[in-house]
Amino acid sequence: MYYEQRFDEFGVKHEGIQGLFGKKVLPFEEVDGQVYQLISDELNEGVAPGVPWKNGPVPVDKAIYGLGPIEIKVSYFDDFKNILETVYGMTTIAHEDNVALLEVGEGGNGGQVILIKDDKGAAARQGYGEVHHVSFRVKDHDAIEAWATKYKEVGINNSGIVNRFYFEALYARVGHILIEISTDGPGFMEDEPYETLGEGLSLPPFLENKREYIESEVRPFNTKRQHD
């Protein structure tokens, strides 16, 4: 109810509160037409939530504190679902009409994929507002090496392990969907202390020579610690 009223107040287009696999969701559109949805953690079990912005414009008990399920639409529903189950180790825990709910790891809203069959819509194209890829986390270098080996064994073309300085990544395009596997570490405290983390624009060494251009393209905003 709170976010319905807030969306109305700010002129955000939304579809009202709906039900999805026993959870309350509120689908809405942002300015580029990309569709998102808020999902309630009421009765949720699984991946622990994050920490909300304490001094933001939204009361802490209503604040957003994490990412929920990833929604993927494909025409090749059965094939993609099979890959999520057999390669990525996901389990289908619910299925309604042309929508399946898959879960991995600890599960819950933070460990789920909503897979939708859509054989009528046009294929998405990259542009403003579009999602470039989805990412699944693994613990460390050994874990991502194991995934690189697994991709080779099952015949999935991939990027090979890419060093992003703050983490390592492995990319594979499954159908039209770009899936990234990334390590938890080293993390964003690799080159700055916790006390000032995020107050300045940190770049990995391989982008430092482009700092002037990157900073010119970033809209300034206040990042000081009082906004925890």
How does pLDDT run across 121-154, given as a tens digit for each residue? 887 777 776 788 999 999 999 999 999 999 999 9
Contacts by 91-100, CB closer than 8 A, 24 or more apart? 94/21, 96/21, 99/20
Mean residue pLDDT across the chain: 93
Tell me the whole-structure pTM to 2 decimals: 0.89
Q: Which amino acid is at 86?
A: T
How does pLDDT run across 208-228, given as a tens digit for each residue? 999 999 999 998 887 775 545
CA pair distance 7, 17, nearest whole angstrom: 12
How does pLDDT run across 84-102, given as a tens digit for each residue? 999 999 999 999 999 999 9
How does pLDDT run across 33-53, given as a tens digit for each residue? 888 999 999 989 999 889 898
How does pLDDT run across 54-85, given as a tens digit for each residue? 878 899 999 999 999 999 999 999 999 999 99
Contacts by 21-27, CB closer than 8 A, 24 or more apart? 21/94, 21/96, 21/101, 21/114, 23/109
Do residues 202 and 191 lie in contact, with contact meaning Cβ atoms separated by under 8 Å?
A: yes
pLDDT for res 220: 86
Q: Which amino acid is at 29?
A: E
CA pair distance 227, 221, nearest whole angstrom: 11
pLDDT for res 65: 92
pLDDT at 32 over 70: yes
Average the pLDDT over 99-120 and give the result. 96
CA distances from 54 to 40, 136, 180 (A): 19, 27, 31
CA pair distance 136, 210, nearest whole angstrom: 28
Q: Which amino acid is at 28?
A: F
Judging by beta carbons within 10 Å of its beta carbon (0-12, 13-18, 19+), is residue 222 exposed, middle or buried? exposed
